Amino acid sequence: MTVIERREIALVDLLDRLLAGGVVITGDITLRVADVDLVRVDLNALISSVNERVPAPWGELT
């Protein structure tokens, strides 16, 4: 095994790295029977941390 293969990353560290840079999740799911679309679900999500440099999009709630 090489050093890279033996390297272990804790789940908390992985989540911290992902949230620091942001993650975009996109996807399509279509339920089809006999070539007839019955249900279609589209997913577009942006997951990111919020701090002073990147404020929340909804502003302050008072």
Confidence of residue 39 (pLDDT cuts 50, 70, 90): very high
State residue 38's pLDDT score: 92
Query: What is the value of pTM for the model shown?
Result: 0.42
Residue type, 3: V
Q: Phi and psi (nearest 5°) for 19?
A: -70, -30
Q: Who has greater pLDDT, 44 or 55?
A: 44
- Mention every residue, 6+ apart, whose C-beta is less than 8 A from residue 18: 47
pLDDT higher than 70, residue 10 = yes
Minimum mean pLDDT range among 20-24, 33-37, 51-55: 51-55
Q: Who has greater pLDDT, 12 or 52?
A: 12
Question: For 40, what's the count of Cα atoms within 13 Å in the CB-facing half-sphere?
Answer: 4
Q: How far apart are the first and last CA of the chain?
A: 55
Cβ–Cβ under 8 Å, residues 43 and 27: yes
